[in-house]
Structure 1
Protein backbone atom coordinates (compact mmCIF):
# COMPACT_ATOMS: atom_id res chain seq x y z
CA UNK A 1 0.00 0.00 0.00
CA UNK A 2 1.24 3.47 -0.81
CA UNK A 3 1.69 6.20 1.77
CA UNK A 4 -0.19 9.36 2.58
CA UNK A 5 -1.36 11.87 -0.02
CA UNK A 6 1.40 13.87 -1.67
CA UNK A 7 1.73 17.48 -2.74
CA UNK A 8 3.95 18.59 -5.60
CA UNK A 9 4.85 22.28 -5.26
CA UNK A 10 6.19 24.00 -8.39
CA UNK A 11 7.87 27.40 -8.22
CA UNK A 12 7.63 30.14 -10.83
CA UNK A 13 9.82 31.54 -13.59
CA UNK A 14 13.18 32.91 -12.34
CA UNK A 15 12.16 32.13 -8.73
CA UNK A 16 13.81 29.89 -6.15
CA UNK A 17 12.33 27.35 -3.75
CA UNK A 18 12.27 30.09 -1.10
CA UNK A 19 9.30 31.62 -2.92
CA UNK A 20 7.20 28.55 -2.07
CA UNK A 21 9.09 27.23 0.97
CA UNK A 22 6.55 28.67 3.46
CA UNK A 23 4.11 25.99 2.27
CA UNK A 24 6.33 23.08 3.24
CA UNK A 25 6.03 22.98 7.03
CA UNK A 26 2.21 23.44 7.14
CA UNK A 27 1.75 20.69 4.54
CA UNK A 28 4.06 18.27 6.33
CA UNK A 29 2.33 19.05 9.64
CA UNK A 30 -0.92 17.82 8.08
CA UNK A 31 0.73 14.57 7.05
CA UNK A 32 1.33 15.21 3.36
CA UNK A 33 4.39 14.02 1.52
CA UNK A 34 5.90 17.12 -0.14
CA UNK A 35 8.06 17.37 -3.27
CA UNK A 36 9.52 20.72 -4.36
CA UNK A 37 11.62 20.34 -7.51
CA UNK A 38 14.04 22.98 -8.73
CA UNK A 39 13.26 23.66 -12.39
CA UNK A 40 16.10 23.68 -14.91
CA UNK A 41 18.19 26.84 -14.87
CA UNK A 42 16.84 28.04 -11.52
CA UNK A 43 18.37 28.51 -8.06
CA UNK A 44 21.85 28.95 -9.55
CA UNK A 45 24.37 31.64 -8.64
CA UNK A 46 23.63 33.52 -11.87
CA UNK A 47 20.64 33.90 -14.22
CA UNK A 48 23.09 32.90 -16.94
CA UNK A 49 22.09 29.33 -16.04
CA UNK A 50 18.75 29.96 -17.75
CA UNK A 51 20.28 30.85 -21.10
CA UNK A 52 19.30 28.28 -23.69
CA UNK A 53 16.84 26.53 -21.36
CA UNK A 54 13.51 25.76 -23.01
CA UNK A 55 10.10 25.20 -21.47
CA UNK A 56 10.18 21.51 -22.31
CA UNK A 57 12.93 21.13 -19.69
CA UNK A 58 10.67 22.65 -17.02
CA UNK A 59 7.88 20.38 -18.17
CA UNK A 60 10.13 17.32 -17.83
CA UNK A 61 11.26 18.37 -14.35
CA UNK A 62 7.66 18.79 -13.18
CA UNK A 63 6.53 15.52 -14.72
CA UNK A 64 9.45 13.54 -13.34
CA UNK A 65 8.82 14.84 -9.83
CA UNK A 66 5.09 14.14 -10.15
CA UNK A 67 5.63 10.54 -11.24
CA UNK A 68 8.14 9.90 -8.49
CA UNK A 69 5.74 11.27 -5.86
CA UNK A 70 2.82 9.33 -7.36
CA UNK A 71 4.84 6.12 -7.00
CA UNK A 72 4.89 6.68 -3.23
CA UNK A 73 1.52 8.31 -2.56
CA UNK A 74 -2.11 7.27 -2.89
CA UNK A 75 -3.15 10.66 -4.26
CA UNK A 76 -1.12 13.63 -5.51
CA UNK A 77 -2.12 17.28 -5.48
CA UNK A 78 -0.20 19.87 -7.48
CA UNK A 79 0.38 23.42 -6.25
CA UNK A 80 1.91 25.80 -8.79
CA UNK A 81 2.89 29.42 -8.43
CA UNK A 82 2.83 31.65 -11.53
CA UNK A 83 4.63 29.68 -14.25
CA UNK A 84 4.42 26.69 -11.93
CA UNK A 85 0.64 26.88 -12.26
CA UNK A 86 0.98 26.44 -16.03
CA UNK A 87 2.96 23.24 -15.42
CA UNK A 88 0.39 22.12 -12.84
CA UNK A 89 -2.42 22.43 -15.36
CA UNK A 90 -0.33 20.60 -17.96
CA UNK A 91 0.05 17.70 -15.51
CA UNK A 92 -3.69 17.71 -14.76
CA UNK A 93 -4.47 17.64 -18.48
CA UNK A 94 -2.02 14.78 -19.08
CA UNK A 95 -2.72 12.59 -16.05
CA UNK A 96 -6.40 13.27 -15.42
CA UNK A 97 -7.70 11.56 -12.26
CA UNK A 98 -4.15 10.86 -11.09
CA UNK A 99 -4.03 14.54 -10.16
CA UNK A 100 -6.29 14.83 -7.11
CA UNK A 101 -6.50 18.60 -7.35
CA UNK A 102 -4.68 21.72 -8.49
CA UNK A 103 -3.92 24.94 -6.63
CA UNK A 104 -2.98 27.67 -9.09
CA UNK A 105 -1.47 30.68 -7.32
CA UNK A 106 -1.39 33.75 -9.60
CA UNK A 107 -1.49 31.57 -12.76
CA UNK A 108 0.61 33.33 -15.39
CA UNK A 109 -1.72 33.15 -18.38
CA UNK A 110 -2.25 36.90 -18.80
CA UNK A 111 0.81 38.94 -17.89
CA UNK A 112 0.92 42.68 -17.35
CA UNK A 113 3.69 42.88 -19.97
CA UNK A 114 2.30 44.03 -23.30
CA UNK A 115 4.76 41.68 -25.02
CA UNK A 116 3.32 38.51 -23.50
CA UNK A 117 0.92 36.10 -25.23
CA UNK A 118 -2.61 37.45 -25.48
CA UNK A 119 -1.37 41.04 -25.14
CA UNK A 120 -1.36 43.67 -27.90
CA UNK A 121 2.39 43.82 -28.54
CA UNK A 122 3.16 40.12 -28.38
CA UNK A 123 4.05 40.14 -32.08
CA UNK A 124 7.07 42.30 -31.22
CA UNK A 125 8.54 39.88 -28.67
CA UNK A 126 10.59 37.73 -31.09
CA UNK A 127 11.78 40.82 -32.94
CA UNK A 128 13.03 42.45 -29.74
CA UNK A 129 14.64 39.15 -28.78
CA UNK A 130 16.98 39.38 -31.76
CA UNK A 131 18.87 42.31 -30.29
CA UNK A 132 18.04 42.40 -26.59
CA UNK A 133 19.73 39.43 -24.93
CA UNK A 134 18.80 40.08 -21.28
CA UNK A 135 15.78 41.52 -19.48
CA UNK A 136 15.80 43.12 -16.04
CA UNK A 137 13.27 41.72 -13.58
CA UNK A 138 11.68 42.84 -10.35
CA UNK A 139 10.51 40.53 -7.57
CA UNK A 140 7.07 41.90 -6.72
CA UNK A 141 6.23 42.38 -3.04
CA UNK A 142 3.95 44.82 -1.28
CA UNK A 143 6.62 45.09 1.40
CA UNK A 144 10.14 44.98 -0.15
CA UNK A 145 11.64 44.36 3.29
CA UNK A 146 9.98 40.97 3.66
CA UNK A 147 12.65 38.33 4.43
CA UNK A 148 12.23 36.32 1.23
CA UNK A 149 12.06 39.28 -1.13
CA UNK A 150 15.46 38.36 -2.57
CA UNK A 151 14.41 34.98 -3.98
CA UNK A 152 14.29 35.93 -7.61
CA UNK A 153 16.84 36.45 -10.37
CA UNK A 154 17.35 40.18 -11.02
CA UNK A 155 17.37 39.55 -14.77
CA UNK A 156 16.79 36.71 -17.22
CA UNK A 157 18.08 35.80 -20.68
CA UNK A 158 15.62 36.88 -23.33
CA UNK A 159 15.56 33.45 -24.95
CA UNK A 160 14.32 31.94 -21.68
CA UNK A 161 11.62 34.60 -21.42
CA UNK A 162 10.47 33.87 -24.96
CA UNK A 163 10.36 30.16 -24.12
CA UNK A 164 8.24 31.02 -21.07
CA UNK A 165 5.91 32.84 -23.45
CA UNK A 166 5.73 29.69 -25.57
CA UNK A 167 4.76 27.73 -22.47
CA UNK A 168 1.93 30.19 -21.79
CA UNK A 169 0.53 29.58 -25.26
CA UNK A 170 0.92 25.81 -24.94
CA UNK A 171 -0.67 25.60 -21.47
CA UNK A 172 -3.55 27.85 -22.57
CA UNK A 173 -4.40 25.30 -25.22
CA UNK A 174 -4.64 22.53 -22.62
CA UNK A 175 -6.94 24.20 -20.08
CA UNK A 176 -10.10 22.65 -21.48
CA UNK A 177 -8.59 19.21 -20.81
CA UNK A 178 -8.42 19.96 -17.07
CA UNK A 179 -11.27 18.44 -15.05
CA UNK A 180 -9.60 18.10 -11.63
CA UNK A 181 -10.78 20.13 -8.62
CA UNK A 182 -9.10 23.53 -8.84
CA UNK A 183 -8.46 26.40 -6.44
CA UNK A 184 -7.16 29.64 -7.96
CA UNK A 185 -5.46 32.17 -5.67
CA UNK A 186 -4.96 35.62 -7.12
CA UNK A 187 -4.28 39.22 -6.17
CA UNK A 188 -6.66 41.98 -7.19
CA UNK A 189 -3.97 44.64 -7.63
CA UNK A 190 -0.68 42.96 -8.52
CA UNK A 191 1.67 44.23 -11.21
CA UNK A 192 2.95 40.97 -12.72
CA UNK A 193 -0.06 38.84 -13.68
CA UNK A 194 -3.33 40.53 -14.56
CA UNK A 195 -6.31 39.68 -12.29
CA UNK A 196 -8.21 38.64 -15.43
CA UNK A 197 -5.87 35.63 -15.58
CA UNK A 198 -7.83 34.04 -12.73
CA UNK A 199 -11.14 34.49 -14.53
CA UNK A 200 -9.58 33.24 -17.75
CA UNK A 201 -8.59 29.98 -16.08
CA UNK A 202 -11.89 29.60 -14.24
CA UNK A 203 -13.88 29.87 -17.46
CA UNK A 204 -11.63 27.69 -19.61
CA UNK A 205 -11.14 24.61 -17.43
CA UNK A 206 -13.68 21.78 -17.64
CA UNK A 207 -13.91 21.31 -13.88
CA UNK A 208 -17.57 21.45 -12.72
CA UNK A 209 -18.59 24.65 -10.93
CA UNK A 210 -18.82 22.84 -7.59
CA UNK A 211 -15.18 21.79 -7.97
CA UNK A 212 -13.53 25.13 -8.71
CA UNK A 213 -13.14 28.41 -6.83
CA UNK A 214 -11.15 31.65 -6.73
CA UNK A 215 -9.68 33.10 -3.52
CA UNK A 216 -8.86 36.79 -3.90
CA UNK A 217 -6.11 38.55 -1.96
CA UNK A 218 -6.45 42.30 -1.46
CA UNK A 219 -3.01 43.55 -0.36
CA UNK A 220 -0.44 41.17 -1.80
CA UNK A 221 1.83 41.36 -4.79
CA UNK A 222 2.94 38.47 -7.00
CA UNK A 223 4.92 36.44 -4.44
CA UNK A 224 1.81 35.42 -2.51
CA UNK A 225 3.45 32.86 -0.22
CA UNK A 226 6.01 35.40 1.04
CA UNK A 227 4.03 38.62 1.19
CA UNK A 228 1.69 40.40 3.60
CA UNK A 229 -1.14 37.89 3.23
CA UNK A 230 0.95 34.74 3.13
CA UNK A 231 -0.97 33.22 6.06
CA UNK A 232 -4.24 33.70 4.14
CA UNK A 233 -2.75 32.12 1.00
CA UNK A 234 -1.27 29.16 2.88
CA UNK A 235 -4.53 28.57 4.76
CA UNK A 236 -6.43 28.61 1.46
CA UNK A 237 -4.11 25.90 0.13
CA UNK A 238 -4.29 23.67 3.19
CA UNK A 239 -8.07 24.06 3.53
CA UNK A 240 -8.57 23.09 -0.11
CA UNK A 241 -6.32 20.05 0.14
CA UNK A 242 -7.95 18.88 3.37
CA UNK A 243 -11.42 19.30 1.90
CA UNK A 244 -10.52 17.31 -1.19
CA UNK A 245 -8.81 14.63 0.90
CA UNK A 246 -11.86 14.28 3.13
CA UNK A 247 -14.20 14.08 0.14
CA UNK A 248 -12.17 11.19 -1.24
CA UNK A 249 -12.18 9.27 2.06
Structure 2
Protein backbone atom coordinates (compact mmCIF):
# COMPACT_ATOMS: atom_id res chain seq x y z
CA UNK A 1 0.00 0.00 0.00
CA UNK A 2 2.89 2.36 0.74
CA UNK A 3 1.83 5.97 0.93
CA UNK A 4 -0.70 5.86 -1.91
CA UNK A 5 -3.39 6.41 0.70
CA UNK A 6 -3.50 9.54 2.83
CA UNK A 7 -5.82 10.47 5.66
CA UNK A 8 -6.55 13.82 7.26
CA UNK A 9 -7.99 13.51 10.78
CA UNK A 10 -9.48 16.63 12.35
CA UNK A 11 -10.04 17.04 16.10
CA UNK A 12 -12.97 18.73 17.80
CA UNK A 13 -13.91 22.12 19.20
CA UNK A 14 -11.79 23.14 22.17
CA UNK A 15 -9.95 19.83 21.96
CA UNK A 16 -6.67 18.57 20.59
CA UNK A 17 -5.04 15.86 18.51
CA UNK A 18 -5.20 13.68 21.64
CA UNK A 19 -8.88 13.07 20.86
CA UNK A 20 -8.07 11.34 17.56
CA UNK A 21 -4.54 10.01 18.07
CA UNK A 22 -5.61 6.35 18.55
CA UNK A 23 -7.17 6.34 15.08
CA UNK A 24 -4.13 8.12 13.62
CA UNK A 25 -1.80 5.47 15.02
CA UNK A 26 -4.09 2.66 13.84
CA UNK A 27 -4.11 3.93 10.25
CA UNK A 28 -0.39 4.71 10.21
CA UNK A 29 0.33 1.12 11.23
CA UNK A 30 -1.64 0.03 8.16
CA UNK A 31 0.36 2.14 5.74
CA UNK A 32 -1.61 5.35 5.56
CA UNK A 33 0.09 8.71 5.45
CA UNK A 34 -1.74 10.56 8.23
CA UNK A 35 -1.89 14.25 9.09
CA UNK A 36 -3.65 15.47 12.25
CA UNK A 37 -3.53 19.28 12.20
CA UNK A 38 -3.96 21.32 15.37
CA UNK A 39 -6.70 23.82 14.62
CA UNK A 40 -5.64 27.42 15.11
CA UNK A 41 -6.21 28.74 18.62
CA UNK A 42 -6.41 25.27 20.13
CA UNK A 43 -3.38 25.67 22.36
CA UNK A 44 -5.15 25.05 25.66
CA UNK A 45 -5.08 28.79 26.42
CA UNK A 46 -8.45 30.52 26.52
CA UNK A 47 -6.95 33.73 25.12
CA UNK A 48 -5.78 32.00 21.93
CA UNK A 49 -9.17 30.45 21.25
CA UNK A 50 -10.86 33.80 21.74
CA UNK A 51 -8.87 35.41 18.92
CA UNK A 52 -9.66 33.05 16.01
CA UNK A 53 -12.54 32.52 13.58
CA UNK A 54 -13.97 29.39 12.04
CA UNK A 55 -12.23 30.40 8.80
CA UNK A 56 -8.95 29.96 10.67
CA UNK A 57 -10.02 26.44 11.64
CA UNK A 58 -10.94 25.62 8.05
CA UNK A 59 -7.60 26.93 6.85
CA UNK A 60 -5.69 24.89 9.45
CA UNK A 61 -7.28 21.70 8.17
CA UNK A 62 -7.13 22.69 4.51
CA UNK A 63 -3.36 23.11 4.67
CA UNK A 64 -3.00 19.52 5.84
CA UNK A 65 -5.37 18.27 3.15
CA UNK A 66 -3.42 19.99 0.39
CA UNK A 67 -0.23 18.30 1.60
CA UNK A 68 -1.89 14.92 1.29
CA UNK A 69 -3.43 15.68 -2.10
CA UNK A 70 0.03 16.54 -3.43
CA UNK A 71 1.62 13.30 -2.23
CA UNK A 72 -1.08 10.60 -2.23
CA UNK A 73 -3.12 8.84 -4.89
CA UNK A 74 -6.17 8.54 -2.65
CA UNK A 75 -7.10 10.90 0.17
CA UNK A 76 -9.66 10.36 2.92
CA UNK A 77 -10.87 12.91 5.47
CA UNK A 78 -12.11 12.07 8.98
CA UNK A 79 -13.64 14.63 11.30
CA UNK A 80 -14.37 14.14 14.98
CA UNK A 81 -17.09 16.30 16.56
CA UNK A 82 -16.70 19.85 15.16
CA UNK A 83 -13.93 18.41 13.02
CA UNK A 84 -16.70 16.65 11.12
CA UNK A 85 -18.19 20.01 10.14
CA UNK A 86 -14.78 21.05 8.83
CA UNK A 87 -14.35 17.70 7.07
CA UNK A 88 -17.68 18.10 5.28
CA UNK A 89 -16.70 21.56 4.04
CA UNK A 90 -13.41 20.20 2.69
CA UNK A 91 -15.11 17.17 1.17
CA UNK A 92 -17.37 19.48 -0.80
CA UNK A 93 -14.59 21.83 -1.88
CA UNK A 94 -12.03 19.19 -2.92
CA UNK A 95 -12.17 15.87 -4.71
CA UNK A 96 -11.51 13.32 -1.97
CA UNK A 97 -12.07 9.59 -2.01
CA UNK A 98 -13.96 9.16 1.24
CA UNK A 99 -15.34 11.13 4.18
CA UNK A 100 -16.01 10.01 7.76
CA UNK A 101 -17.76 11.97 10.49
CA UNK A 102 -17.57 10.81 14.11
CA UNK A 103 -19.99 12.29 16.66
CA UNK A 104 -20.39 15.42 14.54
CA UNK A 105 -22.95 17.98 15.68
CA UNK A 106 -26.08 19.15 14.02
CA UNK A 107 -28.02 19.06 17.27
CA UNK A 108 -25.88 19.36 20.38
CA UNK A 109 -25.94 19.16 24.16
CA UNK A 110 -27.88 16.08 25.24
CA UNK A 111 -28.99 17.63 28.54
CA UNK A 112 -30.66 14.44 29.75
CA UNK A 113 -27.44 12.48 29.26
CA UNK A 114 -25.37 15.20 30.96
CA UNK A 115 -27.63 15.09 34.02
CA UNK A 116 -27.42 11.30 34.14
CA UNK A 117 -23.64 11.45 33.88
CA UNK A 118 -23.43 13.92 36.76
CA UNK A 119 -25.78 11.86 38.97
CA UNK A 120 -23.98 8.60 38.17
CA UNK A 121 -20.63 10.29 38.71
CA UNK A 122 -21.54 11.23 42.27
CA UNK A 123 -23.10 7.83 42.95
CA UNK A 124 -20.04 5.93 41.73
CA UNK A 125 -17.51 8.54 42.88
CA UNK A 126 -16.26 8.70 39.30
CA UNK A 127 -15.81 12.40 38.59
CA UNK A 128 -14.25 12.27 35.11
CA UNK A 129 -17.30 13.60 33.26
CA UNK A 130 -17.92 16.27 35.90
CA UNK A 131 -14.31 17.46 35.61
CA UNK A 132 -14.70 17.54 31.80
CA UNK A 133 -17.82 19.72 32.04
CA UNK A 134 -16.12 22.13 34.45
CA UNK A 135 -13.01 22.34 32.29
CA UNK A 136 -15.08 23.12 29.20
CA UNK A 137 -17.04 25.84 30.99
CA UNK A 138 -13.80 27.49 32.13
CA UNK A 139 -11.76 27.16 28.92
CA UNK A 140 -14.24 27.99 26.14
CA UNK A 141 -14.75 31.73 25.54
CA UNK A 142 -18.08 33.05 24.26
CA UNK A 143 -16.42 34.35 21.10
CA UNK A 144 -15.30 30.83 20.23
CA UNK A 145 -18.79 29.45 20.89
CA UNK A 146 -20.13 32.03 18.46
CA UNK A 147 -17.63 30.88 15.83
CA UNK A 148 -18.62 27.26 16.38
CA UNK A 149 -22.29 28.14 15.93
CA UNK A 150 -21.46 30.12 12.78
CA UNK A 151 -19.57 27.14 11.33
CA UNK A 152 -22.54 24.88 12.06
CA UNK A 153 -24.96 27.30 10.40
CA UNK A 154 -22.66 27.52 7.38
CA UNK A 155 -22.31 23.75 7.06
CA UNK A 156 -25.84 22.52 7.64
CA UNK A 157 -27.36 23.74 4.34
CA UNK A 158 -24.47 22.46 2.18
CA UNK A 159 -24.44 18.85 3.42
CA UNK A 160 -26.65 18.09 0.41
CA UNK A 161 -23.59 18.84 -1.76
CA UNK A 162 -21.56 15.91 -0.43
CA UNK A 163 -20.92 13.58 -3.38
CA UNK A 164 -18.05 11.41 -2.15
CA UNK A 165 -18.46 8.12 -0.24
CA UNK A 166 -19.57 8.87 3.33
CA UNK A 167 -19.49 7.00 6.63
CA UNK A 168 -21.41 8.59 9.52
CA UNK A 169 -20.52 7.31 13.00
CA UNK A 170 -22.36 8.16 16.20
CA UNK A 171 -22.36 6.84 19.77
CA UNK A 172 -25.84 6.75 21.25
CA UNK A 173 -24.71 7.73 24.76
CA UNK A 174 -22.92 10.86 23.53
CA UNK A 175 -23.65 13.70 25.97
CA UNK A 176 -22.38 16.46 23.68
CA UNK A 177 -23.91 15.57 20.31
CA UNK A 178 -27.46 14.27 20.02
CA UNK A 179 -27.66 11.05 18.05
CA UNK A 180 -30.22 12.43 15.60
CA UNK A 181 -27.38 14.55 14.22
CA UNK A 182 -26.05 11.43 12.50
CA UNK A 183 -29.43 10.73 10.91
CA UNK A 184 -29.57 14.27 9.58
CA UNK A 185 -26.10 14.09 7.98
CA UNK A 186 -26.80 10.68 6.49
CA UNK A 187 -30.16 11.63 5.00
CA UNK A 188 -29.06 14.99 3.60
CA UNK A 189 -25.80 13.87 1.92
CA UNK A 190 -26.38 13.31 -1.79
CA UNK A 191 -24.00 10.44 -2.41
CA UNK A 192 -24.68 6.95 -3.72
CA UNK A 193 -22.28 5.27 -1.28
CA UNK A 194 -23.06 6.16 2.30
CA UNK A 195 -23.26 4.26 5.56
CA UNK A 196 -24.63 5.06 9.01
CA UNK A 197 -23.20 3.28 12.04
CA UNK A 198 -24.38 3.62 15.64
CA UNK A 199 -22.58 2.35 18.76
CA UNK A 200 -24.42 1.85 22.02
CA UNK A 201 -21.54 3.05 24.22
CA UNK A 202 -18.56 5.32 23.81
CA UNK A 203 -19.64 8.74 25.03
CA UNK A 204 -18.48 11.79 23.13
CA UNK A 205 -14.76 10.93 23.12
CA UNK A 206 -15.50 7.79 21.15
CA UNK A 207 -11.95 7.19 19.95
CA UNK A 208 -10.81 6.94 23.56
CA UNK A 209 -13.61 4.67 24.71
CA UNK A 210 -14.58 1.00 24.73
CA UNK A 211 -16.00 1.53 21.23
CA UNK A 212 -12.69 2.77 19.78
CA UNK A 213 -11.44 -0.53 18.38
CA UNK A 214 -14.74 -1.27 16.63
CA UNK A 215 -14.89 2.24 15.21
CA UNK A 216 -11.35 2.05 13.87
CA UNK A 217 -11.99 -1.32 12.26
CA UNK A 218 -15.19 -0.04 10.65
CA UNK A 219 -13.36 3.00 9.28
CA UNK A 220 -10.65 0.79 7.80
CA UNK A 221 -13.24 -1.55 6.28
CA UNK A 222 -15.00 1.43 4.71
CA UNK A 223 -11.75 2.69 3.21
CA UNK A 224 -10.95 -0.80 1.96
CA UNK A 225 -14.26 -0.97 0.09
CA UNK A 226 -13.48 2.34 -1.61
CA UNK A 227 -9.97 1.19 -2.51
CA UNK A 228 -11.35 -1.98 -4.09
CA UNK A 229 -13.76 0.02 -6.22
CA UNK A 230 -10.93 2.33 -7.33
CA UNK A 231 -8.81 -0.65 -8.42
CA UNK A 232 -11.59 -2.25 -10.52
* Short-chain TM bin: 0.7 to 0.9
Alpha-carbon distance between aligned partners in 2 of 1:73 and 1:108, rounded to the nearest angstrom: 29
- The Cα shift of 1:113 comes to 6.6
Please give the residue correspondences for 1:44-55 in structure 2 after superposition, counting only pairs within 5 Å.
Answer: 44-55=43-54
Alpha-carbon distance between aligned partners in 2 of 1:110 and 1:85, rounded to the nearest angstrom: 13
Please give the residue correspondences for 1:100-179 in structure 2 after superposition, counting only pairs within 5 Å.
Answer: 100-112=97-109, 155-179=139-163
Question: Do 1:13 and 1:84's aligned partners in 2 also have CA atoms closer than 8 Å?
Answer: yes
Question: Do 1:48 and 1:156's aligned partners in 2 also have CA atoms closer than 8 Å?
Answer: no
Deviations 1:106-157 (A, max 9, x none): 111111279xxxxxxxxxxxxxxxxxxxxxxx9xx9x8669xx89x855201
Question: Do 1:181 and 1:207's aligned partners in 2 also have CA atoms closer than 8 Å?
Answer: yes
- The Cα shift of 1:3 comes to 4.3
**Structure 2 unaligned residues grouped into runs of 5+:** 112-117
* SS of match in other structure, 1:31: coil
TM-score, normalisation: structure 2: 0.86
Alpha-carbon distance between aligned partners in 1 of 2:154 and 2:84, rounded to the nearest angstrom: 13
Equivalent position of 2:196 in the other structure: 214
More helix by share: 2
Runs of 4+ in structure 1 deviating by more than 3 angstroms, as ranges, are: 143-146
Change (3 A) 1:83 1:212: same
- The Cα shift of 1:53 comes to 1.0
- The Cα shift of 1:88 comes to 0.7
Equivalent position of 2:178 in the other structure: 194
Alignment of 1:226 with 2:204, yes or no, is no
Equivalent position of 2:10 in the other structure: 10
* SS of match in other structure, 1:220: coil
Alpha-carbon distance between aligned partners in 1 of 2:127 and 2:199, rounded to the nearest angstrom: 18
Alpha-carbon distance between aligned partners in 2 of 1:3 and 1:220, rounded to the nearest angstrom: 31
Aligned alpha-carbon RMSD (Å): 2.3
Deviations 1:52-84 (A, max 9, x none): 211000011111111111000011100000110
Alpha-carbon distance between aligned partners in 2 of 1:99 and 1:45, rounded to the nearest angstrom: 31
* SS of match in other structure, 2:206: coil
Question: Do 2:110 and 2:174's aligned partners in 1 also have CA atoms closer than 8 Å?
Answer: no
Alignment of 1:62 with 2:25, yes or no, is no
**Structure 1 unaligned residues grouped into runs of 5+:** 115-137
Paired residues, what number? 214
* SS of match in other structure, 1:164: helix
* SS of match in other structure, 1:183: strand
Alpha-carbon distance between aligned partners in 2 of 1:144 and 1:248, rounded to the nearest angstrom: 47
